[in-house]
Amino acid sequence: MLRKLATLVGLSTMGGMTVHSASAETRKDARTLAMRDPALASALGIIGDDFGAESRFGGYGSFGSSFGDDVLTHPATQMAVPGTTPIPVRPGSAAVVHPANHPDNSTAVQQMWNNHMSRQAATRKRLAGLYPNADSDVDVERYSFPINTIITALGTAQNFVMSGSPDCTIRPQRVLFNSPAPAFAFITDIKVSNVSALIGGGNMEDTFFYGANGQGLEIDVPTINPQNKVIVPGSYSSYTPQGFTPGVSFTLVASFRGPSLVTGQMPPSGI
């Protein structure tokens, strides 16, 4: 043990006498001497016990952690390309100057990245036509919710009340009636849960205004869910349009169309 310690601190023994060596070994610094026996030097406290620490063995900035940073940190990779996302760069990285014999491939790499992102965006856009709810927690489609009433005999005036509940929650944005002519039938309200979509104070509105050929007829009817009913009171005027036979029955239909939850789904909690 004493011999190893003497060797560690730069002393040697000769014939039982300890002498200082005049060789170049004694002129080496303390760390070089300590590394003759690192375990002993660590035990005596001559050097710190950092064996295996990242700063000594493959730490950050050593081989592996910075491999490839010359491409990702080059200024050319940070160029702004419309509709694309720059390649991610580690915070704090510095740009690397390429030697003359090392080609600068950063522009080509950025172009490959842009092409990849562009194709991904185009693919998702096309798939959205087939799977519009792919990234949504709920499935929403555009549905039609119809209600109807029977006019028992054309040519004979009568009052009616149309009503019904949808199978799933719907927010109508357009209402259509199949009235064959003006002045055929009138309505006085479109009501959902005591909320009216007509604000005329009980005045009548011609159902012909809501014909399928009408333009710009969007109307925000209150959201209707399966627990509520839409109620449409109105009257048939007794007018028999040309081409129809007096005395026969006629089915008057109102169709409410707009975005709707898929059947069986419930709105998210809190809504």
The 3-state secondary structure of the chain reads: CHHHHHHHHCEEEECCEEEECCCHHHHCCHHHHHCCCHHHHHHCCCCCCCCCCCCCCCCCCCCCCCCCHHHHCCHHHHCCCCCCCCCCCCCCCCCCCCCCCCCCCHHHHHHHHHHHHHHHHHHHHHHHHHCCCCCCCCCEEEEEEEEEEEECCCCCCEEEEEEECCCCCECCCEEEECCCCCCCEEECCCEECCEECCCCCCCCEEHHHHCCCCCCCECCCCCECCCCCEEEEEEECCCCCCCCCCCCCEEEEEEEEEEEECCCCCCCCCC
pLDDT of residue 88: 58
Give me the residues paired with residue 224 across strands. 170
Report pTM.
0.56
Q: What is the pLDDT confidence band of residue 70, given thresholds at 50, 70 and 90?
A: very low
Boundaries of every domain in the chain: 2-43, 69-130, 140-261
- Contact between 132 and 106 (Cβ < 8 Å): no
> Between 221 and 270, where is the model more confident?
221
pLDDT of residue 55: 44
pLDDT of residue 67: 44
Is 215 a residue whose pLDDT tops 70? yes
Is 193 a residue whose pLDDT tops 50? yes
The rounded distance, in Å, linking the Cα atoms of 229 and 18 is: 108
Is 15 a residue whose pLDDT tops 70? no
Q: What is the pLDDT confidence band of residue 102, given thresholds at 50, 70 and 90?
A: low
Q: What is the per-residue pLDDT across 135-180, written as a single tens digit (0 to 9) for each? A: 888 888 899 999 999 999 999 999 999 999 999 999 999 999 999 9
Rounded to the nearest integer, the mean pLDDT of the chain is: 76
Closest CA to 234 of 189, 201, 177, 195: 189
- Mean pLDDT across 170-194: 94
Q: What is the pLDDT confidence band of residue 64, given thresholds at 50, 70 and 90?
A: very low
Cα dihedral angle (176, 211, 203, 251), rounded to 10 degrees? -70
